Amino acid sequence: DTGVSQNPRHKITKRGQNVTFRCDPISEHNRLYWYRQTLGQGPEFLTYFQNEAQLEKSRLLSDRFSAERPKGSFSTLEIQRTEQGDSAMYLCASRTDISYNEQFFGPGTRLTVL
Amino acid sequence: GENVEQHPSTLSVQEGDSAVIKCTYSDSASNYFPWYKQELGKRPQLIIDIRSNVGEKKDQRIAVTLNKTAKHFSLHITETQPEDSAVYFCAAIPNSGYSTLTFGKGTMLLVSP
């Protein structure tokens, strides 16, 4: 499968624990996006990378959230001191530099904070 | 920032009927409008998109129209089939920034056989 992959697919954690998710974009895609989707809502933008540079962060991204893309390939999203309100589907998407090019989404990581 | 409103939130049709989903956007600088289909438990997938220099685009049973003056765009599905049942999201990308998508809240389309 040459699409965007995400791991783990599901994560259940207790409030206060730290979690880390991984996204592997399509290999030639240098743009990578993280979104969060809660039940009954559309995906909401969290952060954007162009290669290894994090160029944009949403105000939704509190200081408990951090994202990296150290080598411009895979990316990780870490949530520290998780709260019940962090429960959501975390989606990763990637695309090329070509204008208006489609963003390809991964299957998402569903986080449940107990 | 951009704000995208989507209506209706739920749409039920009989197989063979047409379905129309409407979205409005707030940022007049937005210039790209994709539509994504998300089946239950699956990833969003692009089904059609339109750029701001085009008023209408068709792909088989699916069409999208754009009215830049009114800042609204619509998805039209003709001859609906049960496999069209899914949640559909409209989105907009402003002309500035890094092409981050602003999504509507989604429309759950139910096509009954």
* Angstroms from B65 CA to nearest CA on chain A: 17
Reported as a single tens digit per residue, the pLDDT across A37-57 is 998 899 999 999 999 999 989
CB atoms within 10 A of CB A74: 16
As a whole number of angstroms, the distance between CA A79 and CA A24 comes to 18
Closest partner CB to B104 (pick from A42, A45, A108): A42
DSSP B93: B
> Could you tell me which chain B residue has the CA closest to the CA of A32?
B100
As a whole number of angstroms, the distance between CA A33 and CA B56 comes to 28
Q: What is the average pLDDT across B82-101?
A: 86
* Angstroms from A54 CA to nearest CA on chain B: 11
Amino acid B95: pLDDT? 66
* Angstroms from B101 CA to nearest CA on chain A: 7
Amino acid A65: pLDDT? 96
| Banded pLDDT at A1 (limits 50, 70, 90) | low
Contacts of A15 (CB under 8 A, 6+ apart): A82, A83, A84, A113, A114
Backbone φ and ψ of A86, nearest 5°: -80, -10
How many percent of chain A have pLDDT more than 90?
82
Query: B101 touching A, CB under 8 A?
Result: yes
Reported as a single tens digit per residue, the pLDDT across B32-73 is 999 999 999 899 999 999 988 889 999 999 999 999 999 999
CB contact under 8 A, B49 and A91: no
> Could you tell me which chain B residue has the CA closest to the CA of A101?
B99
Q: Collapsing DSSP states into helix, strand and coil, what is residue B83?
A: helix
Amino acid B53: pLDDT? 84
Please say if the pLDDT value at position B97 is more than 80: no
Reported as a single tens digit per residue, the pLDDT across A16-29 is 999 999 999 999 89
Backbone φ and ψ of B75, nearest 5°: -110, 130
Query: What's the token pair of residue B80?
Result: 């609906």
Q: Collapsing DSSP states into helix, strand and coil, what is residue B84?
A: helix
> Could you tell me which chain A residue has the CA closest to the CA of B35?
A102
In the Cβ-directed half-sphere of A13, how many Cα atoms lie within 13 Å?
A: 23
As a whole number of angstroms, the distance between CA A96 and CA A31 comes to 6
* Angstroms from A60 CA to nearest CA on chain B: 13
As a whole number of angstroms, the distance between CA A57 and CA A48 comes to 7
| Banded pLDDT at A61 (limits 50, 70, 90) | confident
Chain A residues at the B interface, defined by Cβ less than 8 Å, are: 4, 31, 33, 35, 40-45, 48, 50, 55-56, 91, 93, 95, 100, 102-108
Using CA atoms of B74, B42, B103, B17 in order, give the dihedral in degrees to the nearest 10.
20
Amino acid B38: pLDDT? 95
Amino acid A78: pLDDT? 98
